[in-house]
Amino acid sequence: MTTREIAGKNVQVNEEGYMTVPGEWSQEIAVELGKEEGIPELTSGHWKIIEFCRLNAETTGNAPTLRQITIGSGVSTKELFTLFPKGPAKKVARISGLGKPEGCV
């Protein structure tokens, strides 16, 4: 584990850049991580997915998979890829301050 400063706050991250302490997450951190992931602005559509993922992780203890996100949030796979291009489950997990979803290589 290592410490990294994001949005003026020191947070714990793993070697892949995923936050390891979900309680350290904030919306300001999400905005900065979104920019790093190539998403210049988080819209209401992004926040709907982020909030779903954080609530799901509180219940299950893990970041949700792509299938869990689409089923649980009601957002289609196509829309999810539009909001979070090239690996939406990984991107949304990282932006949401969660670990890498299980099953993602």
Helix (H, G, I), strand (E, B) or coil at 5: strand
Active-site annotation holds for 53:
no
Interacting residues of 92 by C-beta distance below 8 A, sequence separation 6+: 49, 50, 53, 69, 80, 84
Q: Which residues contact 35 (CB under 8 A, 6 or more apart)?
A: none
Helix (H) or strand (E) segment spanning residue 53? helix 44-60
Catalytic residue among 7, 21, 71, 104: 104
The residues annotated with a catalytic role in the active site are: 104
